[in-house]
Amino acid sequence: MSPMNRGRRTRLLTTRRLALCLIIITGIGLVYTISALGNPEYIQGRASDTVRNAVSAAGSARERLLHGPAGHKGEDIFCDGVVDDGRIVVVVKTGATEALEKVPAQLATSLRCIAKPVIVSDLNQTVGRHQIHNVLAGADAGVIASNPDFEIYRKQQLLAKSGSLEDLPSLSTMPIAKEDWRTKGKTAAWGLDKYKFLHMVEKAWELQPGKDWYIFIEADTYLSYRNLRIFLEKYDPSTPLYFGSPVKMWEHKPKPLWFGYGGSGFILSGAVVRDWTTNHPGLANEWDKKIGKMWFGDFVVADALNDELHVQLTDAWPMLHNNEPNVAAFSPDTWCKPVVTMHHLTSRDFDDVYHAELAVRGKPFRFRDVYRHFYDFGLPFKREFWDNLAGEEPEFELKVVENNLEHFSGAFDPKSLKDPHQFFSGCQLACVQNEKCFQFTWSMTTSDGGDRQTECHLTKVFRKGRKRETEKWTDKKTGAKWERNWISGWRSNRISKFVEEHDECS
């Protein structure tokens, strides 16, 4: 028996066992529900206050998962007041290698209140009651047949034709066809993605024409539909508008062009999509041939809008957000702003953000609420092998200046603390001395030849950040071995003080 056949058989057996388990569980559940319905406590709120108070910390987390946040009494209020009136079209873009792994969690949480989301991909599939549309079906035939970026697309079609859909996820590791400094290490699925964007816009109009707004998100984007409606209320959909989280494409000629980062989602007014589809028919097909030389599909959108419709980006950051809760930019500037989207969410994050939104019970869902939900253990003072991203986004960085050591006395030789870059303690002192500083990152690069380079970054935003292990490399010219380590620090007391003092948003 080939390994593949063995795999199929095991799956078959497991499916049968699973079905049996399901029948038993459903049976138990039914008996429980019938007995619980006769119990007045169940009807009032599933548990009396005495029971609720007795629930341990671990238990209350589970309670929250099953029945909504504490005090919520299990009512289903997530969609209250946000009935989908069909004026906003929500379009989700995914790919065949990931669609069925990512989209279900998104549909069950963030998109629960949307009656007819448009799901687009690079293969015709279904997920429950939803059709997943292959928007590349109508792409330029010559490009599909001969462009190396479409090799994965052609493979997907073959798998679909031969009934081997279970092999689709294995294509997710296929490397990109053409690599350069910007696309190094990317996958073939990523390389194909950029061709979907323009067809996606045309498909959205074809399926749901004449609507007020079209928002385009990805399968790992959380969308607060409630906040989206509040955000859009202020704007007129009959005027040309393109909203996004801005990124600058420096290579655009004759001058750099801002585009809306795809993961944060971008929004087009009905006026833009109408003009596009009525006055520029076949635009997506026209562009298929140019896209091979362009890096990102979200940039392709901005470039096409700029060239063909003379529409440019309107900045909607931080509401359209580029990161997940651990990396989102919390600061006095964003604290009371509503969260419309967040990006890079895992299925667990989807569930967590959903519960954070549920907890505000229909009020605008703000960065403050995300912080409360995700950072209830606070932030540490110091963490090694960790990057809290203080040096990642220049727009949030604070200038590093020499430390003032006039009244300084401590265990360290004061001279070594003067330059904040030299030691972790100096970097920490620099953050203490700048009242806008919430956190900092210090990195040290050393070689086996005794070289030492250090860097201190201060920032005015606060966030958890990510693990960052030692980076090692060998210098090709000299043969020297290098390594770089990251340590992060937070002014935890300053952050807690800010959080306590800004509990309310008006």
Residues near ligand NAG (CB under 6 A): 124, 133-134, 137
DSSP string, 429-498: HHHHHSTT--EEEEEEEEETTS-EEEEEEEES-B---EE-PPEEEE-TTT--EEEEEEEEEE-HHHHHHH
CB of 134 to ligand NAG, least distance (A): 4
CB of 141 to ligand NAG, least distance (A): 12
Give yes or no for a contact between 342 and 221, defined as CB atoms under 8 angstroms apart.
yes
Distance CA 38, CA 230 (A): 41
CB of 124 to ligand NAG, least distance (A): 4
| Sequence-separated (6 or more) residues with CB below 8 Å from residue 128 | 104, 107
In the complex with ligand NAG, the residue whose CB is nearer, 89 or 241, is 89
Q: Kindly state the tokens that stand for 163.
A: 């009934």
| Sequence-separated (6 or more) residues with CB below 8 Å from residue 136 | 122, 144, 153, 192, 195, 196, 199
In the complex with ligand NAG, the residue whose CB is nearer, 31 or 141, is 141
Distance CA 309, CA 241 (A): 11
Give yes or no for a contact between 358 and 330, defined as CB atoms under 8 angstroms apart.
no
The 8 Å CB, 24+ separation contacts for 25-29 are none
Distance CA 137, CA 122 (A): 8
CB of 200 to ligand NAG, least distance (A): 14
In the complex with ligand NAG, the residue whose CB is nearer, 193 or 357, is 193
Distance CA 344, CA 349 (A): 9
Distance CA 252, CA 250 (A): 6
In the complex with ligand NAG, the residue whose CB is nearer, 117 or 263, is 117
CB of 128 to ligand NAG, least distance (A): 17
DSSP string, 80-144: TT----SSEEEEEE--TTTHHHHHHHHHHTTTTT-SS-EEEESS-EEETTEEEEETTTTS-HHHH
CA distances, 500 to each of 314, 333, 359, 454 (Å):
33, 16, 19, 34
CB of 107 to ligand NAG, least distance (A): 19
Distance CA 60, CA 340 (A): 27
CB of 131 to ligand NAG, least distance (A): 7
CB of 137 to ligand NAG, least distance (A): 4
In the complex with ligand NAG, the residue whose CB is nearer, 120 or 390, is 120
In the complex with ligand NAG, the residue whose CB is nearer, 134 or 403, is 134
The percent helix, strand, coil of the chain (3-state, each to 5) is 40, 20, 40
In the complex with ligand NAG, the residue whose CB is nearer, 94 or 134, is 134
Residue 146: Cβ within 10 Å count = 8
In the complex with ligand NAG, the residue whose CB is nearer, 282 or 410, is 282
